[in-house]
Structure 1
Amino acid sequence: MRDLEVSEHFSRAALATAFSQKLTSRRRFFGIGLSTAAVLVAGCSNNTQPDNVSARTSPPVQAQPTKAISWPKTIKDLKAKPGLIKKFNDVFTMTSISRVSLLEGKDGSRRLAICMYGNSHQIQLIDPMSGSSEKVITLPHHLIARGMAWDSIGRTLYIGATNGHIFAYDYDSEKIVDIGPPTPSAGSLYGLTFDSTGRLWGGSYPRGIIWNYTPKTKKFVRLPRIDADMEYVYSLAITADDRVYAGTGTNSPKVVCFPAASPNKRTVLNLPDLPKTGFVSQITVSGDLVLIHATSVKTHLIWNHKTKKLTTAALPMDERISSGPRQTGPNFWLNQGSLYSTDSTTGKDTKVGPLNVDSPEQIWVADGNVFVLSRTGAAATTHRFDLETKTSTVQSTTQLSPAGVEVRSLLAHSNGKIYIGGFLGQGIATLDPATNKRWQSPDNVAPNQISGMIQWDEGKIFIGSYGSADIIRFDTSRAVDGPNAFKLMERLGDKYDQSRAIGWAKNENRVFFGTVPDYGLTGGAMGIIDPVTDTIEHVYNKLIPGHSIVGLAANAEFVYGTTSTRNGMGIPNTDGDAKVFAFDLAKKKVAWSRKIPGHGAAMSPQLVDDKILAATIEGIVVLRASDGVLIHDHAFTGASTADKRPGWLDANLKRFGDSYRFMHCAEGIVYAVDFLNGTGHRISDAGQTGTAMAVTDDGRVFISHDVDGIAEISPGPRSKS
């Protein structure tokens, strides 16, 4: 469910959430099933205690200065200076499909609205019969399209975006209008669908609210929350007699139903197989049947809303991408090279005939045929299955336009290249800023969205990917070998309920990672990697109870960490302040931990002399490394921690070699700090920046820029010392 993180982006973002109709994608690696991915796991034991310090060494860690400075109590804010050197656009692109809607006209014509993962070319309209690409719908402000519903009477496509707003696209005039947010708190919208009266329904995150919109009156109606602690209404479907079924998340997910005309008459379905935490991730109506799928459930549930009986089907929902919703006639779906139909009254499955289609994205029925849209690379192919002759042909093929993806993570490699991870992106990309030469791994053989990464030596990068906190070794020398360049070391989501590895550090013989817990859960983990054998020696789960571990720094004796009170998505924050802690590698336990007063999150810690510097959304905190006591709290962004919910990647801090010069970014502000002289200045022309940032060995700064690009920025002249 990688698209869930879309909600993070605007509360990603993200973010999100992100999150796709391929409901088990968060349990996949290299685009293959979990059982296959298990074959890739090798040499990993999480119950083994760390070895003593060995003779194995990485390339030299940058030396610390031999002479400590007197740390300034205040930073003198100098006049803002320009620093933008060069922009690199569209550094990470994808042609992955998020969802597809069938647009049927009064004249019987049909078009497909293909919603892409990405921040450009978001929705592409094609004629599946001819294969022609007709229109591209671009949302403003680089927003991601999160859901769609087609009003055939008004010939309007309604789009849910990642700022929590609904956009209406008039098919004839090609005008797009922002009609606003269904709820003031909406960050992501889900389950868009119409009832028989023409009202648009949907769910939202956060606060888990069901809402509807009447196009004639242009008014939203918000229903009371299902539960006070329920953050998501993630799926929604409506029967022919206008009964609304809504699925929730993340704690104690459930399905509620009610008549659309009487929304206060709610009933909670008794579905014993739902998980304790997670999501009711998809609901589809087919005649009398309501098909329900929830995360971590290997079967999907079939609720007959006429007989009120519940049955189950053995096949997971991601293998039952169906032709629904259909009020009459059978529902068609694919599995393992065959087309099946399900009787919409009895639920009986029947094998129709052979139809070997990889990656089906949409199925619909018309004129005695079943049509299937699939994607291979950048090509969207429409297959036609004749129900009378039981034969199939390729109807058409359309080349999709790649969508630019938000840059989420950056790594400056010693080989001079910048390694890039994209939001909800599959794989990894590189940019050589000297030549503008680019490379990107195929999206079907690479990790999910990269949350964080670190270089060990010239040929080895360790990666943490979003979804199940996969820990992956990437051999840069074998990049052209596809999946053989990657090794899945461990899937932390399965054993430790973690979702992403964000914090990374290394000393001379080990690599360390810190994580954020899974949806609906609290408590991150810290892990230790032997980078020579590519094995995880130990995972310390829930190391700082109730806190996500979002930043790490290390020396030979200790791993220093910073935390966020932001838990897994879908639940409230832990009360109180973020913490800094020291983990004793010899004693294998936390030596001390201390609150960072006034801050809910502190990120990207840097170990400098006997101090720890960490980024907040306000600026930089300077902490004593011996016990974590706050020495100085420098604020220069103008942001206030009290006004914003703590996050995991809201700020970043990078050091220039072994100097006392740093670059900080948060809240769209890039700020250069010189602690030796006690001065700092804002980069005046940085533009729209994110928090992904990298500094090369020779002091060049690269930062995520204008959502789907990166920019090189000059920090200004060196200090006179």
Structure 2
Amino acid sequence: MINHSRYGAPEFMGYPLKETFLLNCAVGIEDGQNMLYTLQTGRPPVFNVFDIDACRVVRSFPLSEDTHTCWTHKIDAEGNVYFATQATGRLYRYSPISKEVESLGYVLGESALYHICFDEERNVYVGTFPNAKIVKYDVKEKRFYDLGTVIEGEKYAMSMVYYKGFLYVGGNSASTSFYKVNVKSGEKERLKNPSISGVFDETQVRCYYMMTLVEHYLFAHTKLFDGTYVMLVYDLEQGRWLDFVLDKAFGHHVSPKLDGKVYLILEKRVKSFDLATCEIEETGMDYANYIMGGNWVRMKDQEKYPGNTYVTVNYDLGKPVLLNLQKKEVTVLENADFTDQPIEIRAMGTDPDGHIIFGGYMGTHGAVFDVATGDYRIFPIGQIEGMGTCGDKVYFGIYTQAQVHEFDPKLPIDTGNNPRFLRKIGEKQDRPFKVIEAEGKVVISSVPTYGELGGALTIFDPVGDTWAVYRNIVPNHSVISLAYRDGKIYASTCIWGGLGIDPIERDAKIFVFDLAKSQKVAEVTPKFPDFQDHLMHIGDISFGPDGLLWAVSKGFVFAMDPETLEIMKYRNINGYDWTVEGIRLVPICIRWGHDGLMYINANDTMAVFDIHSLDYKIIGGRATHFEIGKDGNLYYTDYSRLYRIDVSNTNEPVPGGKQI
């Protein structure tokens, strides 16, 4: 019973993951100095003004915690730096005169803003998600204008440029579009997607990822149907795509013009593109990363950096990078003094010894936490969506492209080897969420890529090194959570697929997959006598000590007979207000305490639940993820923060609380 346990007040334990993660930048002149402007991803994110020659941050501005990421910075004709955020779609402006950052407001109903551009009057235009709108900020009137959804049936106005009174806008979906929009009248025209004979046709363009305007050319870093990225060029004067493809393009942008050429990353090398002849030439520089904004500068130290140097940022390293043409050298500013920022925790799990593992959102590292010593081991990894153990190994599901990595926590951390990449799941999968062991095999649930419906169940045999991927076991559903018993894999689903597409279904499912037969043998839509609303997402499922299969949907908890899939018990403890627009992919978690009680982050709030009496108690604050440590205590995260709740078996009442 719950009143046999005492729960201490949540104790703040710090930030499990901190790093400098830079996705984009702008470079300009401020008070005669070469300055780089960039927003560090984090909770909160921090806007930095960085003196390139002095290699130091001169000003930093923590922003609101309801934002965390920025893909676009642009400098207007007066030197003001505009940048737009995600999580909450806010537009900000930094003034080089006042030296202050101003929030210009957020766009109602839009959770992400993409690709800033300006017209001749310095008005600002941004694209949005999830309604594929264009929004204008009028700098004289100091207000936003909603120009409406530009790409009907899509979620993203992903990238765009402004040219002579028109916006050229690209989307992001399974069959995306390219539009020309008159900013005065709002009239729009659908233009042809690019096609290259023998390479791809216009139906096979998936995403206009980033765009750069140079003279009358639009350079579009574009994702194709097979997941590859290319750089394509559109002639804005002639209104046509040029008949060639810049293959193996790292992106994201090309440089501004310098002596009639732009520079870009192709095949992990810096190359030039002649704007007059369209010829490509080598520069003699290797660079296995991206041009993520930036500009040409003349460094003060002309002996070390003669002539013109291109300055951008490297997101793998979290540092500014200088590309000097005369010396043919790439220099990473290793001494750049950005302060590492807390990274939002995207995933939590445990290794076979009970150490807690954290994965970060939009980060490049994970951490293993020893609850006994308080020590962290940091290891290199991408964005972990989910993790689980099989034998003595930990398996990570990584976004993007549904990568699977293997980690041996008993061995030293070794970049590229431990953790090590195994393979991509394929089958248009993107986010692997749940990992469990079943008869010595690794079983993984996943969500498809952008603009796609239909998740997958993947089974990997580490001994035989064989993989089997079963997509669309429940058509148009993503596979969210997994449990195993007696030769059968139990799985929950949700109605959403990858971002950028509306769901077709309305009710999440539970299905059963026979491991020996390699096929689905049962499927059910959970229904409840006094509950008529749709359960659109079923999070964690787990077998309880009573033998029932327990599941959670937001704050709604229920149990099923694993043989018949009949609903045996249920209780609403913290709300279940699903809407089609309220996309959720990350599962609510279920964990079992040593005391036989269920612990859940019900609707993202830390709670304990008695599966016999159906009593519950809220015992903590907002909990985006949690685990039970090997010390029996609860560890949960509120975005980037880690908290601990001490759990002790006692008959004493909870101070200030109510026994239930």
State TM-score, norm by structure 1: 0.80
Supply the AA of the counterpart residue of 1:640.
D
Q: CA deviation at 1:604?
A: 1.1
Equivalent position to 1:341, from 272, 277, 294: 272
- Structure 1 Cα separation of the partners of residues 6 and 140 of structure 2: 51
**Does 1:289 find its partner at 2:217?**
yes
Query: Does the Cα contact within 8 Å between 1:83 and 1:715 map onto a contact in 2?
Result: yes
Query: Does the Cα contact within 8 Å between 1:206 and 1:231 map onto a contact in 2?
Result: yes
Q: How does 1:394-409 map to 2 (within 5 A)?
A: 397-409=335-347
**Does 1:255 find its partner at 2:191?**
no
- Structure 2 Cα separation of the partners of residues 614 and 509 of structure 1: 24
> In the alignment, which residue of structure 1 is the partner of 2:302?
none
> In the alignment, which residue of structure 1 is the partner of 2:169?
246
> In the alignment, which residue of structure 1 is the partner of 2:469?
539
Residue 338 and residue 647 in structure 1: after superposition, are their counterparts in 2 closer, same or farther (change >3 A)? closer
**Does 1:233 find its partner at 2:157?**
yes
- Structure 2 Cα separation of the partners of residues 450 and 551 of structure 1: 15
> In the alignment, which residue of structure 2 is the partner of 1:330?
261
SS of corresponding position for 1:472: strand
Supply the AA of the counterpart residue of 1:708.
S
Q: What are the superposed Cα offsets for residues 313-353 of structure 1, whole Å, 9 maximum, x if unpaired? A: 333332574223x59943233556865433334433344x4
Residue 472 and residue 355 in structure 1: after superposition, are their counterparts in 2 closer, same or farther (change >3 A)? closer
SS of corresponding position for 1:130: coil
Q: How does 1:370-449 map to 2 (within 5 A)?
A: 370-373=309-312, 375=314, 377=317, 379-386=319-326, 397-442=335-380, 446=381, 448-449=382-383
> In the alignment, which residue of structure 2 is the partner of 1:649?
586
SS of corresponding position for 1:313: coil
Q: CA deviation at 1:614?
A: 0.6
> In the alignment, which residue of structure 2 is the partner of 1:369?
308
Supply the AA of the counterpart residue of 1:354.
G
Q: CA deviation at 1:381?
A: 4.1
- Structure 2 Cα separation of the partners of residues 339 and 564 of structure 1: 43
Residue 145 and residue 337 in structure 1: after superposition, are their counterparts in 2 closer, same or farther (change >3 A)? closer
> In the alignment, which residue of structure 2 is the partner of 1:633?
570
- Structure 1 Cα separation of the partners of residues 579 and 87 of structure 2: 24
Equivalent position to 1:214, from 107, 130, 138: 138
SS of corresponding position for 2:115: strand
> In the alignment, which residue of structure 2 is the partner of 1:66?
none
- Structure 1 Cα separation of the partners of residues 36 and 602 of structure 2: 40
Q: What are the superposed Cα offsets for residues 243-299 of structure 1, whole Å, 9 maximum, x if unpaired? A: 321111113212212343343143423423445473111111111211112213553
SS of corresponding position for 2:415: helix
Q: CA deviation at 1:394?
A: 5.7
SS of corresponding position for 2:410: helix
> In the alignment, which residue of structure 2 is the partner of 1:601?
537
Equivalent position to 2:388, from 437, 442, 454: 454
Query: Does the Cα contact within 8 Å between 2:156 and 2:500 map onto a contact in 1?
Result: yes
Larger displacement relative to structure 2 (538-547 or 334-343): 334-343
SS of corresponding position for 2:94: strand
Supply the AA of the counterpart residue of 1:503.
K
Equivalent position to 1:580, from 491, 499, 510: 510
- Structure 1 Cα separation of the partners of residues 560 and 650 of structure 2: 25
Q: CA deviation at 1:99?
A: 0.6
Equivalent position to 1:681, from 617, 624, 629: 617
> In the alignment, which residue of structure 1 is the partner of 2:658?
none
- Structure 1 Cα separation of the partners of residues 578 and 80 of structure 2: 45
SS of corresponding position for 2:171: strand
Q: CA deviation at 1:661?
A: 0.6
Supply the AA of the counterpart residue of 1:681.
K
Q: What are the superposed Cα offsets for residues 465-507 of structure 1, whole Å, 9 maximum, x if unpaired? A: 11111122212233422211234333113xx111111122223
Residue 82 and residue 264 in structure 1: after superposition, are their counterparts in 2 closer, same or farther (change >3 A)? farther
Query: Does the Cα contact within 8 Å between 2:355 and 2:630 map onto a contact in 1?
Result: no
Flag structure 2 segments of 5+ consecutive residues without an equivalent: 196-200, 299-306, 528-533, 653-660
**Does 1:711 find its partner at 2:643?**
yes
**Does 1:476 find its partner at 2:409?**
yes
Query: Does the Cα contact within 8 Å between 2:357 and 2:367 map onto a contact in 1?
Result: yes
Residue 267 and residue 584 in structure 1: after superposition, are their counterparts in 2 closer, same or farther (change >3 A)? closer
SS of corresponding position for 1:266: strand
- Structure 1 Cα separation of the partners of residues 268 and 156 of structure 2: 35
- Structure 1 Cα separation of the partners of residues 582 and 265 of structure 2: 43
Q: Which has the higher helix share?
A: 1
**Does 1:612 find its partner at 2:549?**
yes
Residue 554 and residue 613 in structure 1: after superposition, are their counterparts in 2 closer, same or farther (change >3 A)? same
Larger displacement relative to structure 2 (594-603 or 78-87): 78-87
Equivalent position to 2:629, from 675, 696, 706: 696
Supply the AA of the counterpart residue of 2:643.
A
Q: What are the superposed Cα offsets for residues 32-58 of structure 1, whole Å, 9 maximum, x if unpaired? A: xxxxxxxxxxxxxxxxxxxxxxxxxxx
Equivalent position to 1:151, from 64, 67, 76: 76
- Structure 1 Cα separation of the partners of residues 477 and 328 of structure 2: 57
Residue 275 and residue 317 in structure 1: after superposition, are their counterparts in 2 closer, same or farther (change >3 A)? farther
Equivalent position to 2:106, from 171, 181, 190: 181
Residue 693 and residue 309 in structure 1: after superposition, are their counterparts in 2 closer, same or farther (change >3 A)? same
Residue 718 and residue 503 in structure 1: after superposition, are their counterparts in 2 closer, same or farther (change >3 A)? farther
Query: Does the Cα contact within 8 Å between 1:79 and 1:681 map onto a contact in 2?
Result: no
SS of corresponding position for 2:65: helix
> In the alignment, which residue of structure 2 is the partner of 1:58?
none
Q: What's the RMSD between the two structures over aligned residues? A: 3.0
How many residues end up aligned between the 2 structures?
624
Larger displacement relative to structure 2 (372-381 or 263-272): 372-381
> In the alignment, which residue of structure 1 is the partner of 2:434?
503
Residue 318 and residue 543 in structure 1: after superposition, are their counterparts in 2 closer, same or farther (change >3 A)? same
Flag structure 1 segments of 5+ consecutive residues without an equivalent: 1-75
Equivalent position to 1:266, from 189, 192, 214: 189
SS of corresponding position for 2:636: strand
**Does 1:512 find its partner at 2:440?**
no
**Does 1:564 find its partner at 2:494?**
yes
Q: CA deviation at 1:524?
A: 1.2
SS of corresponding position for 1:318: coil
State TM-score, norm by structure 2: 0.87
Q: CA deviation at 1:142?
A: 5.4
Query: Does the Cα contact within 8 Å between 2:6 and 2:649 map onto a contact in 1?
Result: no
- Structure 1 Cα separation of the partners of residues 349 and 14 of structure 2: 17
Q: What are the superposed Cα offsets for residues 423-465 of structure 1, whole Å, 9 maximum, x if unpaired? A: 12224211112222112113xxx3x2111111223x4111111
Supply the AA of the counterpart residue of 2:146.
R
SS of corresponding position for 1:480: coil
Query: Does the Cα contact within 8 Å between 1:592 and 1:627 map onto a contact in 2?
Result: no
Larger displacement relative to structure 2 (205-214 or 147-156): 147-156
Q: CA deviation at 1:607?
A: 1.4
SS of corresponding position for 2:637: strand
Query: Does the Cα contact within 8 Å between 2:151 and 2:171 map onto a contact in 1?
Result: no
Query: Does the Cα contact within 8 Å between 2:80 and 2:93 map onto a contact in 1?
Result: no
Q: What are the superposed Cα offsets for residues 349-369 of structure 1, whole Å, 9 maximum, x if unpaired? A: 344x43445545455234551
- Structure 2 Cα separation of the partners of residues 151 and 85 of structure 1: 46
